[in-house]
Amino acid sequence: MIVFLACILAASMHAQAQAPAPGSPAIEAKAHEMLARLSLEQKIELIGGVDSMYTHAIPEINLPRFKMSDASVGVRTWGPSTAYAGGVALAATWDTGFARKLGESLGRDARARNVNFLLGPGVNIARSPIAGRNFEYLSEDPYLNSVIVVPYIEGVQSQGVIATVKHYALNSQEYNRHNVDSDADERTMREIYLPAFEAAVTKGHVDAVMNSYNLINGVHATQNDFLNLKVLKGEWGFQGILMSDWDATYDSVGAANNGLDLEMPSPRFMNAKGLLSAVKDGTVKESTIDDKILRLFRTALRYGFLDRPQFDPADATYAADRAVALQGARESITLLKNEDHLLPLDPAKIKTIAIIGPNAWPAITGGGGSSEAQAFEPVSTLTGIANLLGPNVHVLYSRGLPDSATVIRNTHWEGPVTATNFPSKDFTGTPETATQQPFGDTGQGRRAPTPPDNTGRSIRYTAGYKAAKDGKYLVLTASQGWGTSVKVLADGKELETPPHAEGQVPPFWTLDLKAGQTVNLQADYVPGYGARFGLGITYEPDLVMGDATEFARLADVVVVAVGFTPNTETEGSDRTFELPWGEDALIQAVTAANPHTIVTLTGGVGTDTRAWLGKVPALLQIYYPGQEGGTAVAEVLFGKHNPEGKLPVSFDRSWQEDPSYAYYYPVKGADTSLHVTEPDHKPVDYVIPHVKYDDKLMVGYRYWTTTGKHPLYPFGFGLSYTTFTFSKLEVPKSAASGSTIPVSFDVTNTGSVEGAEVAQLYISDPSAKATRPERELKGFEKVRLTPGETKHVTLELDARAFSYWDETAHKWTIDPGKFVIRVGDSSENTPLHADVTLN
Ligand code: BGC
């Protein structure tokens, strides 16, 4: 009976949010008391993870293990979970209140799955449109990231769950992520790449930080004294746990002495072999190890992890989570083009609608990699529209394009495919040869057994293909599995990836063939974990499915749902700037059949629209909208929800015009070698690819506004079904440098429907001694207004808003003189401006 009552009491207590307690002398004493009971061996055990997602337990001191889970779009641990419009979509809402709400939901979802550490938010800067994880991060702007991340972290941590801000730092590319060196000067780091981490620590009081895989100025993040010791733990006063990304540790003593507190997912370096003798001979001080343990203990004690079960039966909140997921999708979807007010559509005027494209069904809730959450009943665009329209409208659906598995399966090779299996990773050793269909490793074909010494295997596939017609043929591959590599040759010549495309997914190429010509295709494939691979070839003009154009002709209006998916935009590799294969052709074919075509784009950030944008009257960027995305898309298309998302990144016309293009991949001839120690303790010489951050501060709109050139769509831009005006800007004429300065203005809804506008404040510093970007975002507010309504907005600018990083003095500096304050609805449209002089 007593046990039963205690359970009820505990359950009702757990159901309430449990924000972390502040540090206290009692917690400090308890943490030291626990530490005193550990041997050096136990201490070292504690600074490495176990079982992929846990910290180590020490039963002798009643220390349980603590569970971690990814979180960029939803809690990803076994079983389904609510998938939200996370990452870049969250930033597109420009809604700090929503960021808090999302954090709370994720925190509750984590508690419902017994999770102690949520491995998010990701706040790396979206420097280049092709970086593979932009969709998990927030925006191209350090201020927007900083303002969104703080309430998000507070929301997560208010539920008694530790948030982990990641990936610290300069992890703005996936290309060769373990070895790539991000080379950036200090001002660039301080002004662009570090502020969101700084805000997470100093304002959001985040209790965990995750180091990235890459090197920063020649030193891996996990052993980078500048980032970890000087800045994070020194200047910002971070008291929490600094963990590695998964297998991002590269040296025992280097990591132990340079700030890493926890090696995840297992102690490959921070283990007894790597550290016991180092502690004994003083290379690593025992107090350094103690500091790491105390950080874990203090944090666990503050959160109450030792006093209460982490599990909270919050699954009951699923209905509420669903509403949060829908709110995020509604608020993020960004209307980029709406010629002749095609949108909103009037359901009463539509008898037949065609929904076409690979992203129409099933729902695409998020991108690929560790952030993939298994969503509860996700709503696709097709389902969302059909649900909204009801039974009286004909909804026609075509995928529009075959999937790659179909192309691979349907390729008619000249004879069988030869698979030559080598017992090594480099096509050496005595091979076994067999013939098979289709071309690739589907898990069913013959394989050479993995050799007992685990040296791996490699497979060479070859087959001939005879072209039936003259023209362009698409050669495409589908591959899965981390660490998989494929090289494709046509008639003995390697098919080259376009410049700047190394590391991008998915590889595909076009070949010009003549009718009757036979081409011999060869794929040299080295499988990674859980690998699958296939290759196919098809005549390009045949790709677009006949029913797509047929349905487009029959319909009053067409929605084409295209863009990226977890296969084509994913952690571990960069992605193409172009849409996935066939999609340009699909849009062109559909618009030729029916000009009333609306395109919805799924994807992290910008993509190449040049082939079709001129023919498409309406375009919606939907990012990865989470499980309720289809409902929100339908509501926006039919005016049940007035679009309010604003681009958190500038949209380029082409990848070549992006300011990072010239510096994105390693500069040829600039490679140097790095001597590192591998887990087996054998020294290895890597060639480090350097990614030079020589675009410096000129990221996204900073570049566009400084050069006076214009992107396709500017940062901050997004259309609405109503109109807004800005007026009555008030700024003090002069003020003391370093004081907080109020800026106020009015925003009025001048249209006929309710809507939300994001008033954006940019600062220019024409009298600065240092060169500064032409304008920088330093304030914003989202205002929701009924027709005719006016809201008076006041924003406050603190000293940091006017400062730049002085490279000589190594500190934030304000140069007194004139500053220009601009207010408007995007980085390019700022109808209000006024000067303030700082003395
Ligand atoms: C990712 C991290 C993630 C971790 C654990 C890594 O591959 O880079 O973002 O938190 O895996 O899943």
User: Would you state the pLDDT for residue 8?
Assistant: 37
Nearest to 188 by CA among 204, 172, 201: 172
What integer is the mean pLDDT of 505-522? 90
Q: Cα of 123 to ligand 1 centre, how many Å?
A: 14
C-beta of 141 in contact with ligand 1 (< 6 A): no
C-beta of 822 in contact with ligand 1 (< 6 A): no
- Residue with the smallest CA separation from ligand 1 atom 8 is 245
Q: Measured between alpha carbons, how far is 503 from 474 in angstroms, rounded to an integer? A: 19
Edge-to-edge strand list for the sheet holding 334-338: 334-338, 618-623, 597-602, 557-563, 352-356, 394-398
User: Would you state the pLDDT for residue 455?
Assistant: 55
Q: Measured between alpha carbons, how far is 381 from 358 in angstroms, rounded to an integer? A: 11
Residue with the two structure tokens 């994001």: 758
- 3-class DSSP assignment, residue 190: helix
Q: Cα of 798 to ligand 1 centre, how many Å?
A: 35
Q: Which of 133, 164, 246 to mutate to test the pocket of ligand 1 (most atoms within 8 A of CB)?
A: 246
Q: Cα of 419 to ligand 1 centre, how many Å?
A: 34
Phi and psi of 425, rounded to 5°? Answer: -90, -5
C-beta of 781 in contact with ligand 1 (< 6 A): no
What integer is the mean pLDDT of 545-568? 96
Lowest mean pLDDT among 13-27, 57-71, 289-303: 13-27
User: Would you state the pLDDT for residue 504?
Assistant: 63
C-beta of 166 in contact with ligand 1 (< 6 A): yes
User: Would you state the pLDDT for residue 239?
Assistant: 97
Crossing angle, helix 195-202 and helix 142-158, to 10 degrees? Answer: 30
Encode pLDDT of 612-665 as tens digits. 999 999 999 999 999 999 999 999 999 999 999 999 999 999 999 999 998 876
pLDDT bin (cut points 50, 70, 90) of residue 275 is very high
Report the nearest atom of ligand 1 relative to the CA of 166: 9
Q: Cα of 245 to ligand 1 centre, how many Å?
A: 6
Nearest to 122 by CA among 267, 109, 663, 106: 106
Q: What is the DSSP string of 52-88?
A: TTBPPPBGGGTB---BEEE-SSS-BSSS-BPPPS-TH
Q: 708 with 702: CB under 8 angstroms?
A: no
What integer is the mean pLDDT of 717-730? 98
Q: 503 with 449: CB under 8 angstroms?
A: no
Q: DSSP code of 50?
A: B
In this predicted structure, the answer to whether residue 674 has a pLDDT above a threshold of 50 is no
> Using CB atoms within 10 A of its CB, is residue 97 exposed (0-12), middle (13-18) or buried (19+)?
exposed
Q: What is the DSSP string of 623-652?
A: E---TTHHHHHHHHHTTSS------SSPBP
Q: Measured between alpha carbons, how far is 83 from 70 in angstroms, rounded to an integer? A: 12
pLDDT bin (cut points 50, 70, 90) of residue 506 is low
pLDDT bin (cut points 50, 70, 90) of residue 400 is very high
Q: Measured between alpha carbons, how far is 256 from 315 in angstroms, rounded to an integer? A: 39
Neighbours of 415 (CB within 10 A): 9
Lowest mean pLDDT among 50-54, 190-194, 494-498: 494-498
- Residue with the smallest CA separation from ligand 1 atom 3 is 370
pLDDT-above-90 percentage for the chain: 80
Q: Cα of 457 to ligand 1 centre, how many Å?
A: 26
Q: Measured between alpha carbons, how far is 47 from 56 in angstroms, rounded to an integer? A: 8
Q: Cα of 403 to ligand 1 centre, how many Å?
A: 28
pLDDT bin (cut points 50, 70, 90) of residue 676 is very low
Q: Model's pTM, two decimal places?
A: 0.93
> Using CB atoms within 10 A of its CB, is residue 313 exposed (0-12), middle (13-18) or buried (19+)?
exposed
Lowest mean pLDDT among 76-90, 236-250, 622-636: 76-90
**Torsion angle of C-alpha atoms 556, 543, 369, 650, degrees rounded to 10:** -60
User: Would you state the pLDDT for residue 502?
Assistant: 54
User: Would you state the pLDDT for residue 533?
Assistant: 84
User: Would you state the pLDDT for residue 477?
Assistant: 85
C-beta of 245 in contact with ligand 1 (< 6 A): yes
Q: Which of 51, 52, 70 to mutate to test the pocket of ligand 1 (most atoms within 8 A of CB)?
A: 70
C-beta of 54 in contact with ligand 1 (< 6 A): no
Q: Measured between alpha carbons, how far is 433 from 456 in angstroms, rounded to an integer? A: 17
Lowest mean pLDDT among 137-151, 306-320, 337-351, 803-817: 306-320
C-beta of 143 in contact with ligand 1 (< 6 A): no
- Residue with the smallest CA separation from ligand 1 atom 12 is 370
Q: Measured between alpha carbons, how far is 645 from 334 in angstroms, rounded to an integer? A: 4
C-beta of 174 in contact with ligand 1 (< 6 A): no
Q: 819 with 765: CB under 8 angstroms?
A: yes
Crossing angle, helix 318-332 and helix 629-637, to 10 degrees? Answer: 40
pLDDT bin (cut points 50, 70, 90) of residue 13 is very low
Distances (CA, A) of 39 to 16, 55, 289, 299: 37, 17, 12, 21
User: Would you state the pLDDT for residue 313?
Assistant: 77
C-beta of 721 in contact with ligand 1 (< 6 A): no
Give Cβ neighbours of residue 335 (< 8 Å, ≥ 6 apart): 343, 618, 619, 620, 636, 643, 645, 718, 719, 720
Residue 133 forms beta bridges with which residues? Answer: none
Q: Please give the single-letter amino acid code of residue 721.
A: Y
- Residue with the smallest CA separation from ligand 1 atom 4 is 246
User: Would you state the pLDDT for residue 195?
Assistant: 98
Q: Cα of 565 to ligand 1 centre, how many Å?
A: 19
Distances (CA, A) of 178 to 163, 476, 572, 688, 730: 24, 27, 10, 10, 50
User: Would you state the pLDDT for residue 573?
Assistant: 84
C-beta of 70 in contact with ligand 1 (< 6 A): yes
Encode pLDDT of 432-491 as tens digits. 999 988 888 765 433 444 444 445 789 999 999 999 999 999 999 887 666 677 889 999
- Residue with the smallest CA separation from ligand 1 atom 2 is 245
User: Would you state the pLDDT for residue 4?
Assistant: 34
C-beta of 136 in contact with ligand 1 (< 6 A): no
Q: Measured between alpha carbons, how far is 826 from 104 in angstroms, rounded to an integer? A: 29
C-beta of 168 in contact with ligand 1 (< 6 A): no
Q: Cα of 621 to ligand 1 centre, how many Å?
A: 26
User: Would you state the pLDDT for residue 442?
Assistant: 64
Q: Cα of 659 to ligand 1 centre, how many Å?
A: 28
User: Would you state the pLDDT for residue 179?
Assistant: 84
Average pLDDT, the chain: 91
User: Would you state the pLDDT for residue 453?
Assistant: 44
Q: Which of 482, 571, 573 to mutate to test the pocket of ligand 1 (most atoms within 8 A of CB)?
A: 571
What integer is the mean pLDDT of 658-685? 58
Crossing angle, helix 96-111 and helix 142-158, to 10 degrees? Answer: 40
Q: Cα of 73 to ligand 1 centre, how many Å?
A: 13
Q: Cα of 246 to ligand 1 centre, how many Å?
A: 6
Q: Cα of 130 to ligand 1 centre, how many Å?
A: 19
pLDDT bin (cut points 50, 70, 90) of residue 546 is very high
Encode pLDDT of 404-434 as tens digits. 889 999 999 999 999 999 988 899 999 999 9
Measure CA 527 to chain center.
26
Encode pLDDT of 583-613 as tens digits. 999 999 999 999 999 999 999 999 999 999 9
User: Would you state the pLDDT for residue 456?
Assistant: 78
- Residue with the smallest CA separation from ligand 1 atom 6 is 246
User: Would you state the pLDDT for residue 567?
Assistant: 87
Q: DSSP code of 490?
A: E
Q: Measured between alpha carbons, how far is 656 from 50 in angstroms, rounded to an integer? A: 44
Encode pLDDT of 167-219 as tens digits. 999 999 988 888 888 999 999 999 999 999 999 999 999 999 999 999 999 99
Q: 648 with 139: CB under 8 angstroms?
A: yes
Distances (CA, A) of 161 to 66, 258, 302, 309, 580: 11, 26, 11, 12, 38
What integer is the mean pLDDT of 798-807? 97
